[in-house]
C-alpha cells in the first residue's frame, strides 16, 4: 500500500471501487420500482462523491443543512430537499436559495411553523415549496399518518399561498432491527404510513405529487413501493459497522476507513496505542446496542483486511487504544511501532464528518483527495 506511506495519519480513506459497487447495488435494487433516487448527501458532503451517485449528472438530492444546499446548488444541483424541520431563523436563508433558482423543498410537521412560514412568505413575497413530515414509527419527528393536523396544515398553506407538494417519512426504527424480516416489516410500515396520509389528504382534496420515503435498510429490502415516488437514503454509498451489524451489508463492503499509525504499546495490558482517537474516529458507538459491540471500530491492516479480533476499545482526543475484543493480546502479537492500520467506522456519517476530505483509493492506488464541507 505505497499510496498510504506519504499520508500523515490520522486520515480518512475512501475505497472508490467499494463506493461504486455500493451505489450500483442501490441503483439495481430501485430499478425494479417506479421511483426516483434522491440520495441523502449528508453522509458524503462531497461534490465528487455526489457526482458518482449520478454518474456525473445532477439529480435530485436530500440535504441535512442549508450549508449543503448552498454548496450543491452552486455546483449545479437544483432539486434539493432539506430534510430537517425548518426553523424560523432559516427562512431568509432558504428564500435566498430559492430566489437564485433552487427548487428547494422545505419540511415541517406542525401548524405553528406553517403559520410562521406563510407569514414570512407573505411579507417577503417569496414562494416556498413544502413537504409535510410523517411519523411512520415513533422514532423522531413527524405527524401520525391519521393526524387531523395534516388536513389542517394543508388548508392553511393553500389559503396562504405556500405550495404543498408532498409528504416525506423516514423509517429510523429500521436501524434497531434484529433481522432482515424486521427490516422488511419496517419497510412495509414506512410505505403504509405515507400512503395512508396521502390518501387522507387526497380525500380532503389535496393531491401530493411527491411521496418520499427512505432509509438505507428499508430501501435495500423493500418489496413494494407502489404509490411511492422517491427514495431517500445516504449511508448506502459508504456503509459502516452498524449497517454490517444489521445484516444490510458485509464488513467487506465498507468504503470508508481511518488510516492510523501505531505510536506505542502497553505490553503488559495487551494495548496497542495509535494516533486515531475520537477526533479522527468520532465518538459514535452505534454498535454498542447491537449483538456485536465493535468498540470504536474494527482494526484492519493497511490493505483493509480485518486483523483477528482486534478492535479500538477506548479513545481519547488524539489517542486510540487497540486491544483484543476479549482477553489480553499477547506481547508477540502487538503490532510493531509505525505499523499503518485502517479502522472501519461504526457510523460512516459521524466518522467522515471529523475529516476535511477523503484520500481516495482504487486497488491500492491513490486517486487524489476529495474535499468535504462542514458547518451549517
Residues that bind its own copies (CB under 8 A): 5-11, 42, 64-66, 84-90, 93, 108-110, 112-113, 116, 135, 138, 140-141, 172, 261, 263-266, 269, 273, 275, 278-280, 282-285, 316-319, 321, 336-338, 349-350, 353-356, 374-376
Q: Would you put residue 213 in left (φ > 0), alpha (ψ -120 to 50) or beta?
A: beta
Task: Please name every residue paired with 81 in a beta bridge, in sequence order, or none if there are none.
Answer: 62, 105
Q: State the nearest-atom distance from the C-beta of 44 to its own copies, in Å.
A: 13
Comparing CB distances to its own copies, the nearer of 135 and 229 is 135
Minimum Å gap between C-beta 113 and its own copies is 6
Cis before 206? omega within 30: no
Give yes or no for a cis peptide into 10 (omega within 30° of 0). Answer: yes
Helix, strand or coil, per DSSP, at residue 185:
helix
- Of the pair 11, 208, the CB lying nearest its own copies is at 11
Residue number with CB closer to its own copies (48 or 284): 284
* Nearer CB in complex with its own copies: 87/303: 87
Pairing relationship of beta strands 256-266 and 103-108 according to DSSP bridges: unpaired
The Cα–Cα gap between 264 and 349 comes to 29
The minimum distance between CB 332 and its own copies, in angstroms, equals: 15
Do residues 267 and 332 lie in contact, with contact meaning Cβ atoms separated by under 8 Å?
no
Residues pairing with 107 in the sheet: 131
Toward its own copies, which CB reaches closer, 122 or 252? 122
Q: What are phi and psi of 370, to 5 degrees?
A: -110, 115
CB of 224 to its own copies, least distance (A): 26
Nearer to its own copies among residue 87 and residue 127 (C-beta):
87
Q: How far is the CB of 111 from its own copies (least distance, A)?
A: 9
CB within 8 A of 268, min separation 6: which ones? none
User: For its own copies, which is the closer residue by CB, 33 or 263?
Assistant: 263
The CB-of-140 to its own copies minimum distance in angstroms stands at 6
Nearer of residues 33 and 147 to its own copies, judged by Cβ:
147
d(CA 286, CA 344): 13
**What is the closest distance, in whole angstroms, from the C-beta atom of residue 172 to its own copies in the complex?**
7
User: What backbone torsions phi and psi does residue 241 show, to the nearest 5 degrees?
Assistant: -70, -30
- Nearer to its own copies (CB atom), residue 85 or residue 247: 85
Which three cell numbers, joined as nine digits, stand for 237?
Answer: 454509498
Contact call for residues 218 and 186 (beta carbons, < 8 A): yes
Max intra-chain CA distance, the chain: 74
Q: How far is the CB of 316 from its own copies (least distance, A)?
A: 6
User: Which 8-state DSSP code applies to residue 364?
Assistant: T
CA distances from 348 to 22, 190, 343 (A): 13, 23, 11
Rg, Å, the chain Cα set: 22
Instruction: State the minimum distance, in angstroms, from the CB of residue 234 to its own copies.
Output: 9
Amino acid at each position: 500500500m505505497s499510496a498510504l506511506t506519504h499520508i500523515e495519519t490520522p486520515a480518512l480513506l475512501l475505497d472508490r471501487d467499494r463506493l461504486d459497487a455500493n451505489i450500483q447495488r442501490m441503483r439495481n435494487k430501485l430499478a425494479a420500482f417506479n421511483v426516483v433516487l434522491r440520495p441523502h448527501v449528508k453522509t458524503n458532503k462531497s461534490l465528487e462523491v455526489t457526482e458518482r451517485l449520478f454518474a456525473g449528472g445532477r439529480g435530485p438530492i436530500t440535504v441535512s443543512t442549508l450549508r449543503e444546499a448552498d454548496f450543491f446548488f452552486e455546483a449545479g444541483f437544483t432539486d434539493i430537499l432539506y430534510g430537517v424541520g425548518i426553523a424560523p431563523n432559516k427562512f431568509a436563508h432558504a428564500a435566498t436559495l430559492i430566489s437564485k433558482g433552487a427548487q428547494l423543498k422545505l419540511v415541517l410537521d406542525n401548524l405553528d411553523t406553517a403559520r410562521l412560514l406563510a407569514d414570512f412568505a407573505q411579507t417577503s413575497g417569496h414562494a416556498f415549496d413544502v413537504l409535510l413530515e410523517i411519523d411512520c414509527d415513533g422514532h423522531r419527528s413527524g405527524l401520525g399518518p391519521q393526524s387531523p393536523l395534516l388536513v389542517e396544515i394543508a388548508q392553511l398553506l393553500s389559503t396562504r399561498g405556500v405550495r404543498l407538494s408532498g409528504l416525506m417519512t423516514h423509517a429510523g426504527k429500521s436501524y434497531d432491527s434484529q433481522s432482515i424480516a424486521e427490516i422488511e416489516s419496517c419497510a412495509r410500515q414506512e410505505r403504509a404510513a405515507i400512503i395512508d396520509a396521502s390518501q387522507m389528504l387526497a380525500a380532503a382534496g389535496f393531491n401530493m405529487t411527491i411521496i418520499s420515503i427512505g432509509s438505507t435498510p428499508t430501501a435495500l429490502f423493500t418489496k413494494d413501493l407502489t404509490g411511492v415516488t422517491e427514495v431517500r437514503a445516504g449511508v448506502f454509498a459508504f456503509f459502516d459497522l452498524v449497517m454490517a451489524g444489521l445484516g444490510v451489508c458485509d464488513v467487506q463492503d465498507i468504503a470508508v476507513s481511518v488510516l492510523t499509525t501505531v505510536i506505542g504499546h502497553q505490553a503488559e495490558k495487551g494495548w496497542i496505542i495509535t494516533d486515531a482517537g475520537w477526533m479522527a474516529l468520532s465518538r459514535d458507538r452505534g454498535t454498542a446496542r447491537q449483538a456485536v459491540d465493535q468498540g470504536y471500530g474494527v482494526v484492519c491492516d493497511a490493505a483493509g483486511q480485518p486483523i483477528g479480533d482486534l478492535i479500538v476499545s477506548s479513545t481519547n482526543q488524539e489517542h486510540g487504544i487497540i486491544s483484543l475484543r476479549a482477553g489480553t493480546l499477547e506481547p508477540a502479537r502487538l503490532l510493531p511501532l509505525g505499523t499503518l492500520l485502517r479502522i472501519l467506522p461504526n457510523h460512516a456519517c459521524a466518522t467522515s464528518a471529523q475529516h476535511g476530505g477523503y484520500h481516495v483509493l482504487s486497488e491500492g492506488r491513490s486517486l487524489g483527495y476529495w474535499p468535504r464541507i462542514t458547518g451549517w
